[in-house]
């Protein structure tokens, strides 16, 4: 793997722009603002991620009435200042023994409607509702699903080097022995390699051998991998705060004719879906294209999930490539294309790349070979 320069840090200006965009979208959507608890939205908007998410209320408030304001427990104020470094962000702290919900009620429109981040704990949302009985709330991901969907150049760079690291992990693991080892041992290897190649966090290492491959999210277990198995390898995590997620299906020893055939169908579907990517095409069209290839080959019933999901500061987020999602693709969006065929009791095949939308088409961030690789 060629070494890649670390990304430039995000600037206070980047966060100011994101917070302004978020508030603008909320107001445009008829809301009075946005409240954001610790989690991916807060990281994306401010760069701040508390070391531990606790019962103490931490909340970013975006309303037209005041500059972006982060409400934090007094004891965590130094952590916040160290990360956000002032910028356009106001910080209000609250001390143990005082009522933070009351403090919030003094900042928000008493009968306003607000988007609230998905990661807000119910205890906090209930506390806000009790303190401000006239306020109403909608889920941020429901009302503003595309808030984080279009990536800027720095975000794209992070996603691309995360993909390079995932590709390096795959290129390494296929040279190692599979037969006679247990799924969880391969999973451990994948996690270690992802970290070696630069990931700070590993989110999943699916190793589905033989019949276990027919379960798309199979948790790697104690099954001993055998010659003749198909093995689905699906792994990813975060590198410089941005996600990787790739899947390849390998054959342990010479593949059966059925495996060769099914793998070829999935690869054709994945390629067709990739070629359909360009700005303006609705998300569901990418799903339709992949599904048509698999359905025409007679396996439509065995493709049991959507074709893909967005990726950014998390490994699963909007946009979703699924029937019914008419959101048009825009340049800068990043998502997986991951059709699969799952044959219960026998094997599964899935092929997944992260793809970004360019001005005229799509570009894969994962670039390992997609042919059926034979491993030892």
Nearer to Zn ion, 160 or 336 (CB): 336
Say how far residue 246 (Cα) sits from the centre of its chain. 12
Nearer to Zn ion, 285 or 352 (CB): 352
DSSP per residue, 171-231:
HHHTTS--TTSBHHHHHHHHHHHHHHTT-SEEEEEEEEEGGGGGSTTPPP-SPBP-TT-EE
* Residues binding Zn ion: number (CB under 5 A): 5
Burial of 257 (0-12, 13-18, 19+ CB in 10 A): exposed
Report, in Å, the least distance between residue 7 CB and Zn ion.
22
Q: Are 150 and 333 in contact (CB under 8 A)?
A: yes
Q: Cα–Cα distances in Å, from 161 out to 7, 147, 194, 262, 264? A: 9, 23, 12, 31, 28
Name which of residues 211 to 270 contact Zn ion (CB under 5 A): 234, 245, 247
Name which of residues 282 to 301 contact Zn ion (CB under 5 A): none
207 strand-pairing partners: 233
Report, in Å, the least distance between residue 253 CB and Zn ion.
25
Q: In 3D, which of 358, 201, 181 has the Cα closest to residue 280?
A: 358
Which of 117, 205, 270, 336 contacts Zn ion by CB under 5 A? 336
Nearer to Zn ion, 131 or 168 (CB): 168
Establish if 317 lies at the interface with Zn ion (CB under 5 A).
no
Report, in Å, the least distance between residue 194 CB and Zn ion.
13
Nearer to Zn ion, 336 or 356 (CB): 336
User: Of the ranges 3-11, 29-37, 287-295, 347-355, which one interacts with Zn ion (CB under 5 A)?
Assistant: 347-355
Place of tokens 């997609």: 370
Q: Could you give the CA distance from residue 334 to residue 353 in angstroms, rounded to a whole number?
A: 10
Nearer to Zn ion, 46 or 247 (CB): 247
Nearer to Zn ion, 234 or 287 (CB): 234
Report, in Å, the least distance between residue 35 CB and Zn ion.
29
Binding site for Zn ion (CB under 5 A): 234, 245, 247, 336, 352
């Amino acid at each position: 793997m060629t070494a890649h320069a670390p990304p430039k840090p995000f600037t206070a200006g980047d966060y100011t722009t994101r917070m302004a965009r978020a508030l603008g979208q909320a107001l445009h959507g008829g809301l009075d603002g946005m409240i954001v608890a610790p989690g991916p939205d807060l990281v994306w908007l401010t760069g701040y991620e508390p070391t531990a998410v606790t019962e103490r209320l931490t909340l970013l408030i975006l309303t037209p009435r005041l500059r972006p304001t982060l409400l934090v427990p007094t004891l965590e104020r130094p952590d916040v200042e160290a990360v956000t470094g002032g910028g356009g962000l106001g910080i209000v702290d609250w001390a143990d023994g005082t009522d933070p919900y009351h403090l919030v009620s003094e900042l928000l429109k008493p009968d306003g409607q607000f988007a609230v981040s998905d990661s807000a704990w119910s205890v906090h949302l209930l506390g806000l509702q009790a303190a401000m009985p006239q306020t109403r709330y909608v889920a941020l991901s429901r009302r503003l699903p595309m808030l984080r969907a279009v990536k800027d150049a720095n975000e794209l760079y992070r996603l691309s080097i995360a993909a390079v690291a995932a590709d390096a992990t795959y290129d390494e693991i296929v040279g190692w022995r599979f037969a006679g080892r247990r799924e969880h041992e391969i999973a451990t290897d994948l996690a270690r390699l992802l970290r070696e190649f630069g990931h700070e966090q590993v989110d999943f290492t699916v190793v589905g051998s033989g019949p276990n491959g027919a379960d798309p999210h199979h948790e790697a277990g104690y099954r001993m991998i055998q010659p003749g198995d198909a093995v689905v390898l699906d792994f990813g995590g975060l590198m410089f705060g941005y996600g990787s997620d790739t899947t390849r299906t390998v054959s342990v020893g010479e593949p059966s004719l059925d495996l060769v055939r099914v793998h070829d169908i999935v690869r054709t579907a994945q390629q067709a879906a990739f070629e359909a990517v360009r700005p303006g095409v609705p998300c569901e069209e990418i799903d339709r294209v992949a599904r048509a290839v698999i359905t025409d080959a007679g396996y439509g019933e065995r493709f049991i999930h959507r074709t893909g999901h967005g990726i950014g500061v998390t490994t699963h987020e909007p946009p979703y490539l699924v029937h019914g999602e008419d959101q048009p693709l825009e340049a800068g969006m990043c998502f997986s294309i991951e059709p699969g065929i799952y044959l219960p009791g026998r094997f599964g095949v899935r092929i997944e790349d992260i793809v970004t939308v360019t001005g005229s088409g799509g570009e894969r961030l994962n670039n390992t070979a997609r042919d059926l690789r034979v491993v030892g």
